[in-house]
């Protein structure tokens, strides 16, 4: 593995801005970690804002990132930046959770 492959990448890297999602879709755990590191603060802020409970926000973070890992190929087909795709995924996960009783 080269030094370039181990360095964090911005979520907008790559052709079409989705290099990290392409790599995550291929099962690249390092790319998943880089993507997580790049947007974890914003993702958690969305979860906490929508759920207003740190415990529920933590659970939503887990659901969000499992969804991203499991559906990276489909997410990669969406338009927009990788960051906007990840953040809209967090919003969707927490919005669905918000409408159900805890």
| 45 — pLDDT class (breaks 50, 70, 90) | very high
Q: How far apart are CA 61 and CA 93, in angstroms?
A: 9
Beta-carbon contacts of 97 under 8 Å, excluding residues fewer than 6 positions away, are: 50, 51, 56, 60, 63
Q: What percent of the chain has pLDDT over 70?
A: 77
Give the tokens for residue 32.
Answer: 């998943």
CA 43 from centroid of its chain's CA atoms: 7
Asked if the model's pLDDT at residue 94 lies above 50, the reply is: yes
Contacts of 17 (CB under 8 A, 6+ apart): 11, 80, 81, 82
**Average model confidence (pLDDT) for the chain?**
83
Q: Of all residues in the chain, what percent carry a pLDDT higher than 90?
A: 72
What integer is the mean pLDDT of 67-92?
95
Across the range 39-64, mean pLDDT stands at: 95
Residue 8 has, within 13 A of its CA and on its CB side, a CA count of 9
The average pLDDT across 45-63 equals 95
């Amino acid at each position: 593995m080269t030094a370039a492959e181990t360095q964090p990448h911005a979520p907008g890297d790559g052709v079409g801005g989705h290099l990290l999602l392409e790599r995550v879709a291929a099962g690249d755990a390092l790319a998943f970690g880089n993507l997580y590191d790049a947007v974890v603060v914003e993702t958690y802020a969305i979860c906490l804002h929508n759920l207003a409970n740190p415990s529920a926000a933590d659970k939503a973070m887990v659901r969000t990132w499992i969804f991203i890992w499991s559906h990276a190929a489909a997410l990669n087909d969406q338009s927009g930046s990788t960051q906007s795709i990840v953040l809209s995924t967090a919003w969707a996960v927490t919005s669905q959770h918000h409408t159900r009783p805890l």
